[in-house]
Amino acid sequence: MTTVSRSLTDIHPDMTLDEAYAVQLHQVRHWVGEGRRIRGHNVGLTSAVMQRQLGVDQPDYGHLTDDMFYLESLPIPLDRFIIPKVKPEIAFVLKKPLTGPGVTAADAPSAVDYALPALEIIDSRIRDWKITLADTTADNASSGGVVLGSTPVRLSQLTQSGLSLRTMGCVVHQGGQDGGHGRRRRSARVSAQRLGVAGEHRRPARHHPGGRVGDHAGIGDRGRPVAGGDSVTATFAGLGSVTADFAESKEK
């Protein structure tokens, strides 16, 4: 487990977003050099509320490697994380490349094969989650992991539906997600543009959590803290459910 540290913007207060992405890509290329495979990208800050809080006008993105994907049926080891939280999402699986620059509003939905319910595990190297946009971007958009559900739904079948989030069987959030799907498609388009500038693209058969559902359901980008032994379930009307089970902590 990596220990917490000061934020990069504490040390480099003038860090730009381009510089933050350069830090992220340097880390990702190191992972790939170690043998990890990129299986998708995570898009964050998709809601106007969260963007206003950080003073930005665009979403950010991070990379998801193969070892960041966890199965519903297996306990997730907490010692892989630092200060993890969970957030409900809708994940998009692509059927064709989504490559920028020049991605249009029609390109993003036409590239999607199907959607899945998902729970994202967000994590941060920064002490107490005291981060700016540059900090979270450099830290791979705070991407820790993802658990995918098993019910694929075509994009045309997605409805403006409700969401409930349960921890240990108790409802901790319940609400709607109206308007979220359009924002997620726009966010996928914007992040594809930036990936293209960086020489990358979103590839078919990859999983792309497309905008944190919590942004549109009252949870915000903060997520819900998790502890050893926790079981968290997100249920989406019209999409199904997904459960993340966390292993008991080895420290007593």
Per-residue confidence band for 7, with pLDDT thresholds at 50, 70 and 90: confident
Quote the CA–CA distance of 189 and 6 in Å, as a whole number.
32
Write out pLDDT tens, residues 153-168.
887 787 666 777 777 6
214 or 4, higher pLDDT: 4
The DSSP annotation for 159-207 comes to -S-EEEEEETTEEEEEEE-TTHHHHHHHHHHHHHHHHHHTT--B-TT-E
Q: 70-130+145-245 — its CATH code?
A: 3.90.850.10
Q: What does the DSSP 8-state code read for residue 223?
A: -
pLDDT at 178 over 50: no
Q: Where are the domains of the chain?
A: 70-130+145-245
Quote the CA–CA distance of 217 and 220 in Å, as a whole number.
7
The answer to whether residues 202 and 94 touch, using CB atoms and an 8 Å cutoff, is yes
Contacts of 79 (CB under 8 A, 6+ apart): 1, 249, 250
The amino acid occupying position 143 is S
Write out pLDDT tens, residues 21-47.
999 999 999 999 999 999 988 887 766
Write out pLDDT tens, residues 107-148.
777 778 888 899 999 998 888 888 888 998 999 999 999 999
Mean pLDDT over the full length of the chain: 77
Quote the CA–CA distance of 202 and 205 in Å, as a whole number.
9
